[in-house]
Amino acid sequence: MGLLGQGLVLMLAGMGIVYLFLVVLIVTAKYSSAFVAKFDSILPQDAPKKAAKPAAAANDDANIALAIAVAMG
């Protein structure tokens, strides 16, 4: 077997190892997802978040006017 044949064998072996790794990764992700979904009911649920109150808009006009006056003078 020449150098080209050895290269092909090495390439196929590497591709096979990568393929097996990806299969193991997918199977592990599938079963870990099922495991987490099984115990999801015992975890506390997130409380609904309250909406933030908007800032007073009347004071903004005074602040803008002050900023313009400072910038002009």
3-state per-residue secondary structure call for 46-69: CCCCCCCCCCCCHHHHHHHHHHHH
* Cα 4 to Cα 6: distance, rounded to the nearest angstrom: 5
Per-residue pLDDT of the chain (73 residues; tens, 9 = 90+): 899 999 999 999 999 999 999 999 999 999 999 998 888 888 777 777 777 766 555 567 888 888 899 999 7
Domain locations in the chain? 1-42
Question: Tokens representing 32?
Answer: 């870990």
